[in-house]
């Protein structure tokens, strides 16, 4: 359907203090309607206190075919995980 | 009959007018479920329908209490016949196309919102509490329906023509919302519910503003249908109730 409304990515902040999280996407003619639709589609069960909508085509994504070069090199670099330090007892629980 | 008895009866009638209007409109809007033009509107319409059915439970629940004959909201919704219904004629109009459904919703919301605002000042605290809770839902209904009426009225040639035709069809059913009878006058005098014509200035102003932004023109027609609030309905309501009530009629007190 070429006459379909543009796609929007929806982010909802659940409770104060938490980040907005991506919850899904929907179609709407403009940003204002996208917020209304998001309210109706994604906050029916009291899920949110704030809504962000972003046009899907404004998102630049990494390419799945680049997965190897992008992510695999970090597999072999255990020293990047901060697990080689002895934490002094007086620091307590981290 | 004593004056006290009259007021009890008026209270029952007045609560049925509110509850039946939200029930019938809620059922009408729910008829769109699975049929709306796009998924997002389908869900939005279902939300509005559910809000209205929820409000019905409160109004008819209180009506049953006021009546004091042991009928609860379900009994009133599913076991009364068409002539016992007290809803506005506007809300029983068939859905028609999406434009007619939205126009009906807007014309009703533009009354419903100021009506609930006024009901918050009711001398009956139970009514004031229901009105406050329902008011938050209806504020959103009005924002949504007004916005869509403007978008579609001031949209394409096709959407404009459909919205104007919806307005022309529904306009003669709007006057009833602001008409008073003895029941309304008794309730207004007791401070229980506002006089219907006290809603008129707000309704007129809001409708004029939205229609003008939507580039739509209210018909120059004075004749207004009436009777719904007294139980005289169009043929459409009986058909709707047949669908809505058949299960409770065929299997009274059925449970899951």
Q: Which residues of A touch B147 (CB under 8 A)?
A: 32-33, 36
pLDDT given at position B1: 46
DSSP string of B194-241, one letter each residue: --GGGGHHHHHHHHHHHHHHTT------------GGGT---HHHHHHH
Q: Do A40 and B47 touch (CB under 8 A)?
A: yes
pLDDT given at position A94: 66
Q: Which CATH architecture has domain A7-89?
A: Roll (3.10)
* Distance spanning both ends of chain A, measured CA to CA: 53
E strand or H helix that includes residue A34: helix A31-42
Angstrom distance (rounded) from CA B46 to CA B44: 5
How much of chain A, in percent, has pLDDT values that exceed 70?
Answer: 97
Alpha-helix residue ranges (DSSP H) falling in B68-181? 73-78, 89-92, 98-119, 125-153, 157-170
Angstrom distance (rounded) from CA B112 to CA B106: 9
Side-by-side strand order, sheet with A20-27: A20-27, A7-13, A50-55
pLDDT given at position A87: 81
Is B256 part of a structural domain of the chain? Answer: no
Q: Which residues of A touch B151 (CB under 8 A)?
A: 29
Cβ atoms B98, B166 nearer than 8 A: no
As beta bridge partners, residue A20 has A13
Question: How many domains are contained in chain B?
Answer: 1
Is B255 part of a structural domain of the chain? Answer: no
- The DSSP output letter for A57 is G
Q: Do B44 and A40 touch (CB under 8 A)?
A: yes
Neighbours of A13 (CB within 10 A): 16
pLDDT band at residue A1 under the 50/70/90 scheme: very low
Q: Give me the residue from A27, A32, A36 closest to B38, CB to CB.
A: A27
Task: State the average pLDDT over residues A67-89.
Answer: 82
Q: What is the pLDDT along chain B (256 residues), one digit of tens a residue?
A: 455 558 999 999 999 999 999 999 999 999 999 999 899 999 999 999 999 999 999 999 999 999 999 999 999 999 999 999 999 999 999 999 999 999 999 999 999 999 999 999 999 999 999 999 999 999 999 999 999 999 999 999 999 999 999 999 999 999 999 999 999 999 999 999 999 999 999 999 999 999 999 999 999 988 999 999 999 999 999 999 999 999 999 998 888 7
Cβ atoms B132, B124 nearer than 8 A: no
Q: Do B40 and A28 touch (CB under 8 A)?
A: yes
- Cα torsion for B158, B163, B166, B172, to the nearest 10°? -140
In the predicted structure, residue A3 carries a pLDDT above the cut 80: no
pLDDT given at position B165: 98
Predicted TM-score (pTM) of this structure: 0.89
Write the CA distances from B110 to B56, B135, B138, integer angstroms: 18, 12, 9
Question: Where in the sequence is the domain holding B212, given as residue range(s)?
Answer: 3-217+225-250
Exposed/middle/buried for residue A22 (C-beta within 10 Å: 0-12, 13-18, 19+):
exposed
pLDDT given at position B5: 57
Q: How far is A47 from chain B (nearest CA, A)?
A: 15
Domain with residue B185: its CATH number is 1.20.1260.10
| Residue among A33, A34, A35, A44 with most chain B CBs within 10 A, to mutate | A33
Beta carbons within 8 Å of B38's beta carbon, 6+ residues apart: A5, A27
pLDDT given at position B253: 85
Name the 3-class secondary structure at B46: helix
Task: State the average pLDDT over residues A62-83.
Answer: 83
Is B39 part of a structural domain of the chain? Answer: yes
Q: Which residues of B touch A39 (CB under 8 A)?
A: 140
The helix/strand count (H/E) of chain B reads as 10, 0
Q: Do A37 and B144 touch (CB under 8 A)?
A: no
Is B185 part of a structural domain of the chain? Answer: yes
Angstrom distance (rounded) from CA B84 to CA B205: 33
pLDDT given at position B2: 52
pLDDT given at position B3: 59
- Cα torsion for A44, A47, A48, A53, to the nearest 10°? -70
A-B contacts at Cβ under 8 angstroms: 26
Among candidates B51, B157, B35, which has minimal Cα distance to B101?
B35
Among candidates B115, B37, B233, B19, which has minimal Cα distance to A3?
B37
Between helix B98-119 and helix B157-170 the angle, nearest 10°, is: 50
């Amino acid at each position: 359907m070429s006459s379909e409304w543009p796609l929007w990515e929806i982010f909802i902040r659940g409770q104060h203090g938490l980040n907005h999280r991506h919850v899904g996407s929907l179609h709407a003619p403009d940003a204002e309607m996208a917020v209304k639709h998001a309210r109706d589609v994604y906050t029916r069960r009291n899920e949110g206190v704030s809504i962000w909508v972003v046009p899907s085509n404004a998102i630049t994504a990494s390419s799945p075919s680049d997965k190897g070069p992008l992510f695999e090199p970090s597999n072999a670099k255990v020293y990047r995980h901060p697990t080689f330090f002895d934490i002094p007892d007086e620091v307590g629980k981290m | 009959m004593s004056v006290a008895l009259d007021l009890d009866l008026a209270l029952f009638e007045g609560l049925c007018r509110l509850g039946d209007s939200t029930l019938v409109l809620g059922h009408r809007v729910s008829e769109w479920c699975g049929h709306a033009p796009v998924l997002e509107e389908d869900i939005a319409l279902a939300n509005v329908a559910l809000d209205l059915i929820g409000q019905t439970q409160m109004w008819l629940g209180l009506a049953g209490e006021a009546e004091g004959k042991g009928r609860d909201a379900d009994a009133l919704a599913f076991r009364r016949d068409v002539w016992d219904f007290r809803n506005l004629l506007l809300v029983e109009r068939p859905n028609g196309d999406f434009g007619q459904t939205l126009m009906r919703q807007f014309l009703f919301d533009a009354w419903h919102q100021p009506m609930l605002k006024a009901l918050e000042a009711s001398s009956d605290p139970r009514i004031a509490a229901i009105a406050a809770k329902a008011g938050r839902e209806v504020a959103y209904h009005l924002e949504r329906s007004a916005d869509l009426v403007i978008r579609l009225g001031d949209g394409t040639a096709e959407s404009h023509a459909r919205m104007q035709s919806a307005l022309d069809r529904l306009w003669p059913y709007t006057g009833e919302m602001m008409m008073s009878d003895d029941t309304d006058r008794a309730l207004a005098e007791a401070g229980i519910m506002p006089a219907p014509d006290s809603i008129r200035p707000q309704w007129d102003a809001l409708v004029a503003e939205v229609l003008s932004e939507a580039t739509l023109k209210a018909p120059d027609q004075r004749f207004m249908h009436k009777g719904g609030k007294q139980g005289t309905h169009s043929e459409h309501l009986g058909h709707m109730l047949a669908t809505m009530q058949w299960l409770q009629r065929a299997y009274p007190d059925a449970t899951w």
